[in-house]
Amino acid sequence: MRVSEERAVAALRCLGQDIDTRSSRAGTAAELQVVVAVLQWLKSQGHQGEGTVPVPVRILEGSGFALRPAATTVYLDMELDTEEDVQEVVHEAVPSSTATFFGTELLSTQVLGPEPFTACGPSESITLRLRNILQEYGEESDLFTEMVQNAEDAGATVCRFLLDLRRCRKATSGLLDPGMGACHGPALWAYNNALFTEDDLRNITRVGAATKEGQAGRIGRFGLGFCSVYRVTDVPAVLSGETLLIFDPNGTHLGKHIPRAGSPGIRLDFSSRPRILHAFAEQFRPYHGIFGCRLPKPGPFPGSLFRLPFRTEEEALTSKICSEAFGTVRIQSLGTSFLGSNRLLLLFLRKVREMSLEMLPDTATSAEDTMPLGRLRRKEIRDLGTPGDPLSWAAIEQLTACEEASKTTWHYLVLVCHGDGELLELFHKNTQAGHPPSPPTAGVALPLAPTADGKWVPRLGAEEGQVFCHLPMPVTSGLSIHVHGAFSILSNRKGLWNTKERGEWNRMLLRNAVPVAWLRALDLLRSMHEAGELENYEYHIFWPDTNTACYPFTEAVTVKLIWTEDHAKGYQRAACILELLQDAVEERVNNTMQAAFQSVPFLPGKLPTGEHVLLPAGQLYLQAPLVGLIHPVFAPKVLGKKFSLPKEVESFLGLNRQIPAATVLEQLEALS
């Protein structure tokens, strides 16, 4: 007759009661053997019993055992401290996997008090979700960008990286889990000098979910951007203050302490459980001395420290996230491209002002024996005044890159301002609909160079105009300057959304905030030129070229598109351009830019029918007798009551050209 699982559990309970009534209060060796066999059978049947199944525990005297509900017992997977008093210790004859299956707690887990991360986001497995996200992040160097982004959002001013090539001795004890031994080899460290808030800690544990969208002042999407670290590691860890987060989505390194499938890691709190540090000292030994970290000694770490142990060949074979291992050559290649791909990384950031990369060779005897590989610094040379908004600023910024024995410096006039009008209306509309975009800001960076006598000159033709959403994107605008906007971007930062509401938001930024920032920056250049601070400056140097601008960035320079949607705004933009064109007074030469202005439709004209249009200067004449009967004429009145077009600008645009005799005859024929 087949015995049911319930009858087997009932038999164990009866045996336990019988043992408790004996004078010795102990089970025999033969009974122990039978009990372990029954437990193994119940385990094979998947019968967990919610912690109520009796398991053998040690008794204080003798070699026998008693039976107690699994949930009330502890399994000794580490040594007890002399002062610890654990009553119900599982008998050593029971395998740890069997005991934990029925609900017994490991002593190491009791000491750690780990808080498992809560799984969130889509319903597919976490490892599959991460594998899919990594397909969007094509380069391992993307993780430098994501780490700087997280540092900026945390309010840090410094972000430092360290390639640690040390291979720590293989630990046999003092680890959180035997599987963590694989993490004691080479690693990438990332440090910033800001502490995580409780919200930051909670957000970063939501693996694969976008958690910072729409938060004012936040440029990242913590859950998604942080996932780029899984390109190089399976077990990232984050230390901030006295909190340590360890991620293990595969469940292969912290299996003892992750109670359920789908929980991607654990959180440890050293302040409430100080014993962790000396009970598992070997686990934290690689941290000692890294960017001032004192682990395994107690005390809060004054900042945030990420440790990304590089994926080994063995881990790559079993990883469900990424099958790419990182050997020494590939690790070192991260250092060779560090500055080349990140030169402009800090240009539009407001908080992070320095980032660096160092290397700790395998032969190092101390964590202080580092070798500098590259450093990038951003310094404000001159504050040009804030255009009146906390999110707006203007300055001449200096970027300095140091690599080995070389040092290179670049300068930019950077201006960031807040959008208004229709853009602000769209922002409020999207916010009310529950889809809040980032605050509607945009900016430009115009390259300059210092002169020996402390002045400035434009730096021309040195670089292609790049697109930024706070951080640089692999998008070329075709413009002569760098353009920044609070764009709606793809999750991997590789492009802009161009569809539906998100595409509309991007186009509105380009029509509204970007041109405003551009014109304000040009106005600052003109003021510097008039004050004698800017030399070799020609009014057209940083004007856009509609022939090279790429869509959708053409929308940032097209007055006609704005005029089509709102005549008043289009006229306002045209008036601003004409005002800046007054710099042409001293530039009475025929050049390609002059020809371009004569062919771009940005001037208000009046047709013989009385209808107003936008036309190129080459198709307009100044108002004169007869001319308006058949040809469109320039209509300055729509540009404002106080607007006056200087004679020099008229000449530059060719508006004051002589009317051909044939045209006069056409007018006379029309009159007759």
| Mean pLDDT in residue range 430-438 | 67
| Mean pLDDT in residue range 185-198 | 94
Quick one: 359 and 506 in the same domain?
A: no
CA R_g for the chain: 35
218 vs 613: which has the higher pLDDT: 613
**Per-residue pLDDT reduced to its tens digit, 464-476:** 888 898 888 888 7
Quick one: 324 and 189 in the same domain?
A: yes
Quick one: 508 and 456 in the same domain?
A: yes
Cα-to-chain-centroid distance, residue 660: 61
Residue 384 Cα distances to 392, 460, 492, angstroms: 11, 21, 34
Residue (of 130, 170, 138, 150) closest to 251 by Cα position: 130
Q: Is residue 636 part of a domain?
A: yes
Strand positions, DSSP E, 70-157: 74-75, 105-106, 115-116
| Mean pLDDT in residue range 142-154 | 88
Q: Is residue 485 part of a domain?
A: yes
534 vs 667: which has the higher pLDDT: 534
Q: Is residue 575 part of a domain?
A: no
What does the alpha-carbon distance between residue 438 and residue 431 come to, in Å, rounded to a whole number? Answer: 10
Q: What is the pLDDT of residue 555?
A: 55
Q: What is the pLDDT of residue 74?
A: 93
**Cα dihedral angle (212, 498, 555, 418), rounded to 10 degrees?**
-10
Residues paired with 412 in a beta bridge: 397, 447
120 vs 162: which has the higher pLDDT: 162
Q: What is the pLDDT of residue 214?
A: 45
Q: Is residue 370 part of a domain?
A: yes
| Mean pLDDT in residue range 354-370 | 92
Res. 565: pLDDT tops 70: no
Please give the tally of structural domains in the chain.
4
Buried/exposed code over 525-553 (b: 16+ C-beta within 10 A; e: otherwise): bbebbeeeebeebbbbbbbbeeeebeebb
Most confident listed range (202-216, 314-328, 388-402, 574-588): 314-328
Q: Is residue 277 part of a domain?
A: yes
- Percent of the chain at pLDDT exceeding 70: 78
Quick one: 604 and 644 in the same domain?
A: yes
429 vs 182: which has the higher pLDDT: 182
Residue 494 Cα distances to 275, 304, 381, angstroms: 45, 27, 31
| Mean pLDDT in residue range 169-174 | 73
In this structure, what token pair is assigned to residue 288?
């000692």
Res. 602: pLDDT tops 80: no
Residues ≥6 apart with Cβ < 8 Å to 665: none
CA angle at residue 157 from 154 to 163, to 5 degrees? 90
7 vs 119: which has the higher pLDDT: 7
Quick one: 108 and 122 in the same domain?
A: no
Q: What is the pLDDT of residue 490?
A: 78
Q: What is the pLDDT of residue 592?
A: 45
Burial of 182 (0-12, 13-18, 19+ CB in 10 A): middle
Domain boundary among 349, 375, 401: 375
Q: What is the pLDDT of residue 588?
A: 47
Q: How are beta strands 115-116 and 158-164 bridged, if at all?
A: unpaired
Domain boundary among 506, 540, 557: 557
Quick one: 416 and 329 in the same domain?
A: no
DSSP for 171-190 reads PSSS-SSGGGGGGGS-EEEE
Residues paired with 448 in a beta bridge: 411, 458
Q: The domain containing residue 248 runs over which residues?
A: 116-375
Quick one: 434 and 548 in the same domain?
A: yes
Res. 616: pLDDT tops 60: yes
Residue 248 Cα distances to 54, 177, 264, 277, 466, angstroms: 31, 12, 5, 20, 37
Lowest mean pLDDT among 282-286, 516-520, 550-554, 630-634: 550-554
Q: Is residue 332 part of a domain?
A: yes
Res. 208: pLDDT tops 60: no
Q: What is the pLDDT of residue 20?
A: 92
What's the CATH number where 181 sits? 3.30.565
Q: Is residue 573 part of a domain?
A: no
**Per-residue pLDDT reduced to its tens digit, 60-70:** 777 799 999 99
In this structure, what token pair is assigned to residue 368?
């202080």
Q: What is the pLDDT of residue 450?
A: 95
**Residue found by looking up tokens 């760098």 in the block:** 482
Residues ≥6 apart with Cβ < 8 Å to 208: 121, 122, 126, 129, 130, 133, 223, 224, 227
Lowest mean pLDDT among 33-47, 147-161, 612-626, 652-666: 652-666
pTM of the model: 0.77
Quick one: 355 and 395 in the same domain?
A: no
2 vs 556: which has the higher pLDDT: 2
**Per-residue pLDDT reduced to its tens digit, 23-60:** 888 999 999 999 999 999 999 999 888 889 999 999 87
Quick one: 10 and 70 in the same domain?
A: yes
Quick one: 636 and 510 in the same domain?
A: no
Domain boundary among 95, 112, 129: 112
Q: Would the CA dihedral through 142, 147, 151, 154 be positive or negative?
A: positive
Quick one: 177 and 281 in the same domain?
A: yes
Could you give the residue ranges of the DSSP H alpha helices within 275-327?
275-279, 281-284, 313-318
Quick one: 66 and 163 in the same domain?
A: no
